[in-house]
Amino acid sequence: MTAADLRQRVRTAESEALRSGLVNTALALPWAAAIIGLIFFAPDPLHNGVPQVPLSTWRQFVLFPAVLCGFGLWERGFEGARNWHAWYSAHQVRRNVDRHPDRAALLVPPLEAHLNELRAIRGHRQVAVRRVRWIAIPIGLIIAVLVFGVQVEDPDGTLRDAPEAVVPTIAALVVLSLIIIAVATPRWRRWYAAHTAEKWSGDPAYAAALSHLGPDPQYFRASEIPPLRVQFVNPKSVDYRLTVVSAARNVFKWPPLEIAYLRLFENQARVRNFLHGAWREFGYVYILRSSGSVSPAEIARARADNAIRTMFAASPRTFRTAVAGFGSDPLPPGKHRLTGITNTPERVDDPAGSYPVRALLCHGSFWKSAVDLLLARVDLVAVDLSGYVPANTGTQFELQRVIDRFPINRAVLLCDAGSDRAFIEAQVRYHWSQMAAGSPNAGNAERTILIAVTGAGRRADRELMARLLERRRSTS
């Protein structure tokens, strides 16, 4: 895909966002007009048409359709705001592409629809706020309308407020609001735990007390960067004769591997997909935990035992201690509940058994060093680039580190069916061109990097793993 094609795609995205913004804004206007008409202009004509019904009753009656119209206005307005934001973002990207046409492939983000699909699994705070915003707040507005908008007509023709007439309705709505808040509270507690862990992880006072690791060695670019062949593969579903995993052999009767899985922390959808795949059948998987996986119970224990610092791997010593503390006994065939990996416990079914996941919670001042320590001890690295955008600087660092410090024949990049392949290939080639001196991938011979389109299930994962093991064996 040329720079002109990429520039045209950005213009297309900008036009689509602009069109959607205009459409949603236009659709919001009738809802606003309906609300104004119902509240200010509808009661009098209705009373004139049906004089048997008091004017005060008509005023009360139109309030309920006005509230329903308010829901429509809220939805259209919210979608319109998102469309205008998307238009502004695409406009900024297009300007950057016009300014730097030689780096167009690096500036163009993945497809917006794909990002929205990956973000379908929302964080705890988003879920709690969404429930309160979309349900409890409208209920509060209805209560306000009932309290301040309901009037009755006295025999002398005067109008007076009559909130006592709607007390039962208000009580029912209050109870419903409390139920909604109670349902949202567990999510809010988990968000608060994640927020607390993130705050502790970024505490500069704690970072200053860590053992001194020393500065990174001075960067020198490799003098010989070999040509790179980027190969996208679509693993097929293949049936294999499997054996139940044991401490000595995996499902392919190989010694169990040690696998590092690097990904976007916020991409919960892909982490869950990875856990349901076949990777855990081949060896012990190392994952760096995000703050979102920290539970309220962990925060409570850390505070009660005054063990806030020891809950993080914050130095090579504490990293090795954390790794040594993990169990090595395989999980038997059947269903299991994996905790401390994603933002909620994940239930998986392992027909051939599996190896436990080793999830490490690292301090914010140490996680880059933890990546280096992982690369030094594992047999295979999988870097998941699904949902990756240039703003994901952490994933940028991990991808560059794999290129600089890990044999590329023992690494695989992952994406999904909705990923932007041209963008991912451009990013990979850019980081390959920045290869550091001393990299095991430096030299003259052409290298091939595999980018596997995963998400098709366990059988496809096994076929990919078989390909990786054969590639590793043929190049060793």
Query: Residues with Cβ < 8 Å from 119, sequence gap 6 or more?
Result: 266, 269, 387
Judge whether 370 and 360 are in contact, CB under 8 Å.
yes
Q: How far apart are the first and last CA of the chain?
A: 34
* Structure token pair of residue 278: 């076949």
Instruction: Give the pLDDT of residue 466.
Output: 87
* Structure token pair of residue 252: 């392919």
Length of the chain counted residue by residue: 476
Maximum CA pair distance of the chain?
100
Task: Specify the pairing of strand 228-233 against strand 151-153.
Answer: unpaired
- pTM of the predicted model over 0.75: no
Judge whether 235 and 461 are in contact, CB under 8 Å.
yes
Instruction: Give the pLDDT of residue 121.
Output: 46
The gap from C-alpha 90 to its chain's centroid, in whole angstroms, comes to: 21
Torsion angles phi and psi, residue 236, rounded to 5: -100, 155
- Report d(CA 100, CA 109) in Å as an integer: 15
Q: Which residues pair with 285 in a beta bridge?
A: 259, 357
* Structure token pair of residue 97: 């592409």
Instruction: Give the pLDDT of residue 212.
Output: 46
Query: Residues with Cβ < 8 Å from 334, sequence gap 6 or more?
Result: 349, 350
Instruction: Give the pLDDT of residue 273.
Output: 87
User: Exposure pattern of 2-39 as b/e (b: 16+ CB <10 Å)?
Assistant: ebeebbebbeebbeebbebbeebbebbeebeebbeebb
Handedness of CA 29, 35, 38, 41 (dihedral sign): negative
* Structure token pair of residue 320: 């090795």
Helix axes 167-201, 124-131, angle to 10 degrees: 160
Interval 103-159: pLDDT, tens? 666 666 655 555 555 554 445 555 556 556 556 566 666 656 555 555 555 555 554
Going from the C-alpha of 337 to that of each of 72, 255, 379, the distances in angstroms are 41, 25, 26
- Report d(CA 235, CA 278) in Å as an integer: 13
Interval 148-184: pLDDT, tens? 555 555 555 554 555 555 556 666 666 766 776 777 6
- Report d(CA 475, CA 28) in Å as an integer: 61
Q: Give the chain's residues under pLDDT 50.
A: 120-122, 159, 208, 210-212, 214-215
